[in-house]
Amino acid sequence: MFPRHRKKYKNKEISPDEIFLDSRNIPEFDVESMEGHLEVLLSGRVAFTVYAAYFILAVIFISQLFNLQVVKAGHFRERAYLNRLELRSLIPERGLILDRNGVELAWNEPTFQVVINPDGDNEAVVADNVRWEEAEALLKDMPDLPLRIEPVPVRRYTSLGGFAHLLGYVGYPEDQSYLEYELEEGSKIRLYPRIKIGKTGLEQKFEKKLSGILGAHIAEVNSKGKIVSESKKKDPEPGAPLQLTIDSGMQSVLYNSISGVVNDKGFRGGAGVVLDVKTGDVLAMTSFPELNSNDFSKGISSEEFSKILNDKKNPFFFRALEGLYSPGSVIKPLIALAALNEGVIKPEKQIFSAGSISLPNPYFPGQASVFPDWKAHGWVDLRRALAVSSNVFFYEIGGGFQDQPGLGADRIRMYEEAFGLGRVTGVGLSEASGFIPSPEWKKENVKNDPIWRIGDTYNFSIGQGATQVTPIQMARVIAAIAADGKILKLNIIDGSRSYIENEIDIDAEYFNVVKEGLRMAVAEGTAQALSGLKVKVAGKTGTAEIGDGRVNSWFIGFLPYENPTIAVAVVLESGDIHNLIGAPFASRQFVEWTIANRPEMVGL
């Protein structure tokens, strides 16, 4: 041993082996044959280290054993139990959505899903909305996979036009979270629901009411996922029905009337709202163009979704509630009421319209600022000014001119707010609030011209400039005028309590004057498209310029004139400025149908 460490002495070699053995002088060890027991005592420090290591390992082992056998025993018993179970979510039927007359607008049809549950805990849908024959074929093609067929109700929607934005659609949630389902003895399992939820419209707003309560079916399975025996079942509870104030016939006809004019006359889109003047019930509320709720309920491809999303006509946009438009001349009845109530004008006082008003120009002193009328009307009083929609008349009572005082911007704003403009109506769905400008707003936001000038008030008085309203707001304005200043809470759900949200303090005599002017507009003025009907209509047209030779066409009105029950607001978006067929024509088609098919609603 140790050949490299041998030391040479004169005539002798001594190896490390010999030195070591001599130094130790170990008993019972044959140094010649190098046999025997060689024992060396460990030092106390080394021994302590070894024993401590053994002790620590023993403690760790015993702790883990205790943790597995005692602390987590229930968990692992449950896991072992669940490994033998297949968990099935039982999808409840969504509640029906019905119109005011009980017509089904959204319902459920039976269909099937093919589901895979590979590990008894996580499951996924392999095929959705398939026929029984298709589902069976999948199982036959893949016999070794733990597949099963599940009945699942699929949401269907009415084929009538005009309901997509209002009803919305259902789809799988983005967060596919699990639900906990309680078993006997307080143990719980995670259950993947595979359930669609409301994504937009009433389906989303009333998800809790419509969705029902999920059920569960738990079965014992073998290693291949085949059912051995039934274990436990909890039946699903269907959702509650939702009955609307909407009349499906009125809604469909309003939509078809709007879409027909939009397509024929080159508008980009349109919207309409119909209210019950007595109760605040929404009878119709529609927007064109729209989506196909059935397609979205079944599921569409990303390419189809992208195509719809990039459509310039924006079919996702619910114009009736979210569309913001300059009101144009349909704001004039409100300005007339404000002027009468504030003593700015008497009903019989006449103002001369030569076709425009001219004011000094602050930017070019030698060149007047001209505010045009759409024609020269001559001498007109308030009723006649409403009938022919004289801009000059409303310039003067709004902003003042020579000896004629005006309301001024602050009072115009005050009355517009009183009639509900500039805030949401609270109908219950997502809506825009609109906008009413003010001198303060202009000072803060129009840096290149921060001063509010009389020309701004003139534009304010005829619904041009920065004022923005929604169709449902204008429907409520005309309904309030028809009801002598009573602003009702709007209802979309049948059976909701009706009440007056605000009552505007204006003399009933002034409301009558304005209503007479609106009746004249239909009989002999700008709204003659709605004349000659079996029921008298009162209303106001509006043409709001939006630039590039395009306009928005408005009509607001009510019927019957003598005892109003129905208020209508229609807007057609971005039409040619020279087009003479617009919102009044679409409104007439709707009113004609209503008189013929809902005579009891119009006093016949």
pLDDT at 290 over 80: yes
How many angstroms separate the CA atoms of 323 and 469, rounded?
A: 8
How many angstroms separate the CA atoms of 71 and 408, rounded?
A: 79
On the 0-12 / 13-18 / 19+ scale of CB atoms within 10 A, 274 is buried
Q: In the chain, how many domains are there?
A: 4
The pair of structure tokens assigned to 253 is 């006809």
pLDDT at 335 over 90: yes
Higher pLDDT, 126 or 250: 250
DSSP assignment string, 168-205:
--EE--SS---EEEE-GGG-EEEE-----EE-SHHHHH
Query: Residue range 537-566: average pLDDT?
Result: 96
Q: Which of 67-76, 199-208, 516-525 has the lowest mean pLDDT?
A: 67-76
- Per the CB < 8 A criterion, the answer to whether 128 and 299 are in contact is yes
Higher pLDDT, 471 or 174: 471
49-79 burial: b if 16+ Cβ within 10 Å, else e: eeeeeeeeeeeeeeeeeeeeeeeeeeeeebe
pLDDT at 180 over 60: no
User: Same structural domain for residues 176 and 257?
Assistant: no
Output the CA–CA distances (angstroms, integers) from residue 445 to 298, 416, 433, 442, 452, in the order listed. 46, 21, 19, 5, 11
pLDDT for 229 equals 67
Query: Residue range 581-585: average pLDDT?
Result: 96
Q: Which of 252-256, 302-306, 317-321, 457-461 has the lowest mean pLDDT?
A: 302-306
User: Same structural domain for residues 283 and 427?
Assistant: yes
Domain CATH number, residue 350 = 3.40.710.10
Q: Which of 364-368, 386-390, 508-512 has the lowest mean pLDDT?
A: 364-368
pLDDT for 498 equals 83
DSSP assignment string, 202-223:
HHHHTHHHHH-B-EEEEEEE-T
| Whether the bond into 360 is cis, omega within 30 of 0 | no
pLDDT category, 524, cuts 50, 70, 90?
A: very high
Q: Which of 34-48, 126-140, 272-286 has the lowest mean pLDDT?
A: 34-48
Kindly give the interhelix angle for 471-482 and 332-341, rounded to the nearest 10 degrees.
40
Kindly give the interhelix angle for 409-418 and 332-341, rounded to the nearest 10 degrees.
110
User: Same structural domain for residues 368 and 224?
Assistant: no
Contacts of 448 (CB under 8 A, 6+ apart): none
pLDDT at 532 over 60: yes
User: Same structural domain for residues 101 and 185?
Assistant: yes
The pair of structure tokens assigned to 146 is 């733990």
pLDDT at 383 over 70: yes
Out of 210, 243, 276, a domain closes at 243
Residue 369's identity, in one-letter code, is S
Is the pTM value of this prediction over 0.75? Answer: yes
User: Same structural domain for residues 193 and 333?
Assistant: no
User: Same structural domain for residues 436 and 301?
Assistant: yes
pLDDT at 137 over 80: yes
Domain CATH number, residue 151 = 3.90.1310.10
pLDDT at 120 over 60: no
- Look up the domain containing 25 and give its range: 3-36
User: Same structural domain for residues 447 and 466?
Assistant: yes
Selection from 291-300, 364-373, 403-412 with the highest mean pLDDT: 403-412
First to last CA, the chain: 127
User: Same structural domain for residues 358 and 381?
Assistant: yes
DSSP assignment string, 268-335:
SEEEEEEEETTT-BEEEEEEES---HHHHHH---HHHHHHHHT-TT-TT--HHHH--B--GGGGHHHH
- Per the CB < 8 A criterion, the answer to whether 34 and 24 are in contact is no
How many angstroms separate the CA atoms of 295 and 171, rounded?
A: 11
- Per the CB < 8 A criterion, the answer to whether 407 and 397 are in contact is yes
Query: Residue range 532-542: average pLDDT?
Result: 98
User: Same structural domain for residues 232 and 253?
Assistant: no
The pair of structure tokens assigned to 71 is 């602390």
Residue-wise pLDDT for 359-381, tens only, equals 888 777 778 889 999 999 999 99
How many angstroms separate the CA atoms of 549 and 559, rounded?
A: 33
Query: Residue range 544-550: average pLDDT?
Result: 90
Kindly give the interhelix angle for 391-399 and 332-341, rounded to the nearest 10 degrees.
40
How many angstroms separate the CA atoms of 101 and 243, rounded?
A: 9
pLDDT category, 71, cuts 50, 70, 90?
A: low
User: Same structural domain for residues 267 and 216?
Assistant: no
What long-range pairs does 58-64 form, CB within 8 A, spacing at least 24?
none
pLDDT for 332 equals 98
- Per the CB < 8 A criterion, the answer to whether 168 and 293 are in contact is yes
Out of 200, 218, 243, a domain closes at 243
The pair of structure tokens assigned to 294 is 């059935």
Query: Residue range 289-300: average pLDDT?
Result: 90
Kindly give the interhelix angle for 409-418 and 454-461, rounded to the nearest 10 degrees.
30
Out of 220, 243, 266, a domain closes at 243
Query: Residue range 21-29: average pLDDT?
Result: 52
Tokens 């605000």 — which residue? 502
pLDDT for 2 equals 45
As a whole number of angstroms, the longest Cα–Cα distance in the chain is: 151
User: Same structural domain for residues 64 and 115?
Assistant: no
- Per the CB < 8 A criterion, the answer to whether 326 and 552 are in contact is yes
The one-character DSSP state at 602 is G
pLDDT at 49 over 90: no
User: Same structural domain for residues 272 and 325?
Assistant: yes
Contacts of 209 (CB under 8 A, 6+ apart): 95, 239, 240, 242
pLDDT for 68 equals 60
How many angstroms separate the CA atoms of 328 and 325, rounded?
A: 9
Q: Which of 1-15, 64-78, 84-98, 196-210 has the lowest mean pLDDT?
A: 1-15
